[in-house]
Amino acid sequence: MKINLSINKVLLPMKAHYFLFNAGTGCIVPFMSVLARQLGFSSVTVGIIYTISPFASMVSKPTMGAFSDRFHCKKIVFLAGILLTALAVFLLNFAPSVPTSHKMRFSCNDMSSTMDTCVDNFTITDDCAVESITTETGNITVNCQMTCQMDSSAWRTVCNAWNMAQYCNTNSSTLSFTATTPANSARMINECLRFNIGSINLDGNTFTPLCPAGGQIESSCDIECDAPALNELVANPLIADDEVYGHSAFWVVMLLYVLIWIFQAVAVTNSDAICFHLLEKAPHKYGYQRLWGAVGWGIFTFCCGYIIDFHSQGKSQKDYTPAIYLGMGMLILNFIVAFFIKYDEPTHKPNIFRDVGRLLTNVRFLVYIVWSIFVGICVAMVWNFLYWVVEDIAAEAGCDSTTWIKTLEGLMQVMQCLAGELPFFFLSGWILKYVGHVNCMTLVTFVLGIRFMLYSIIKNPWLFLPVEMLNGITFGLFYSTLASYASLVAPPGAETTCQGIAGAVFEGVGVSLGSLMGGYLIEIYGGSMTFRILSIAAFVFSVLHALVQFILQKCSPNNAPNSDKNLSE
């Protein structure tokens, strides 16, 4: 194998584009799924968001591709896609969360007063937060503003035992006061987290609240504490899953995610078409350009994961703000660099519908479409739900594993991109030339089966790191095959349209369908079992694909697009 290491100055800005664009999107896109989870959306709801977003991408890719081909404005549309992606990423700062209520039970007797989480069938789901509150808060005093439901018996206790005459004849249904509790008094009792209340402040009077026999108070209270971790622990969504689609938070978040998908799709479709135009008669060298995207994605996803963890220390939730700003800055820099890419629009005027219509009647091309959809289903699970599984396994492994979970997720991207995609993008031209596109398609689906089976049996979150090297085949080699095939079979002048179709069936159909299926499967079976189910499906598909291609080769050895001599290999 002979590799030319000389620098092509015409392609240098293209390499810089792939690096900067993927660096910018890598700062936030890999974390968007778990960001939605943090905002209060369930796996089913996130699955629906990631069903609609790729579908919008499916529509935009061929539409904008045909527009760019028809009006010869690839570079203008390309630059607009980069700039609009930066804007959409910035707007994630303002993504709203699902409304929540913070409730605890207030109990008062002649011995003490307490507040606990045993209210309205609430169940604590974050054991690590409990551990943090009960073991790491030290002698911190927490002040909580409480608004409690009151009945006539409770009002008599306030009037008589607490000596609050102004409440003896009140008709109000609630009482508001500030409760002070030592954080280190927290104890788990019968699956409830209970705090001893040292004092309360009511109408400017501070005292220890005691309730004599016959005058006990037990009330459900809305609560807001000056300890964010405690507020997050008792947060309970006010909107059920089947009602969230009628709330503005869902529509705002979905709109932001859809816009990011659309603008990325526009930029990627046109950039790939421009790249193949600059490569002229050497489309197999596409991987040499695209590998710089893997470098940018891997490095900056890790950096942003670390930044998110570092900036979130002492906070109840992960703070994505610095990653969003860094990503936006890299995209703006990408816009400036991409402006200097030298690209001359072709003068050929294609009959796009006729040319593409003929391509869609080719049986081998239709098999390629089905393969793209299936891989898209699998990739959707990696993109949208892998981090869910990693975080769940980390929580099971111990609370120490969750402290730097974003750093681990960033390291996973490093392994995916630098140890996986980078070498395979670099070698993709040689692999496609000597192995053939068809054999690469079968290999990709088979390795997806191996990768997903490993996901399903991992119990230590750090063991995900070596598995991510398989991303070199399941995405690096896959994407090179996907893009180069579309470029090779595209009729003259319809290159961007064919790139749009290839991207549309992969993301708009495959990723969209995979997101919907994944959301429901995880809800029913959990993350690990869902990956095991898809692993078996990938093994079966790889065998069927190889069998179909063998039959096609035997029955019609000459029924392959003339522009790619390797398709029948």
Give 171's pLDDT tier (boundaries 50, 70, 90). confident
Measured CA to CA, the distance from residue 263 to residue 92 in angstroms comes to 14
Residue 253 in this model has a pLDDT that exceeds 90: yes
Q: Could you tell me which of 319, 526, 407, 328 has the C-alpha nearest to residue 415?
A: 407
pLDDT confidence of residue 270: 83
pLDDT confidence of residue 100: 81
Give 273's pLDDT tier (boundaries 50, 70, 90). confident
pLDDT confidence of residue 280: 76
Q: What is the DSSP letter of 490?
A: P
pLDDT confidence of residue 356: 62
pLDDT digits (tens, 9 = 90+) for 380-418: 999 888 988 888 888 777 666 666 788 888 889 889 888
Mean pLDDT of 252-257: 93
Cα distances (Å, whole numbers) of residue 190 to 117, 118, 193, 458, 547 = 11, 9, 8, 32, 58
Q: What is the 3-state secondary structure (H, E, C) of 91-112?
A: HHHHCCCCCEEEEEEEEECCCC
pLDDT digits (tens, 9 = 90+) for 62-78: 777 777 777 778 888 88
> Which residues fall within 8 angstroms of residue 310, CB to CB, at 6 or more apart?
none
Measured CA to CA, the distance from residue 420 to residue 474 in angstroms comes to 9
> Which has the minimum average pLDDT: 137-141, 261-265, 347-351?
347-351
pLDDT confidence of residue 442: 92
Is residue 483 within 8 Å of 440, Cβ to Cβ? no
Measured CA to CA, the distance from residue 137 to residue 216 in angstroms comes to 30
Measured CA to CA, the distance from residue 285 to residue 462 in angstroms comes to 34
pLDDT digits (tens, 9 = 90+) for 207-223: 989 888 767 888 999 99
Residue 244 in this model has a pLDDT that exceeds 90: no
Buried b (16+ CB within 10 A) or exposed e, 20-56: bbbbbbbbbbbbbbbbbbebbbbbbbbbbbbbbbbbb
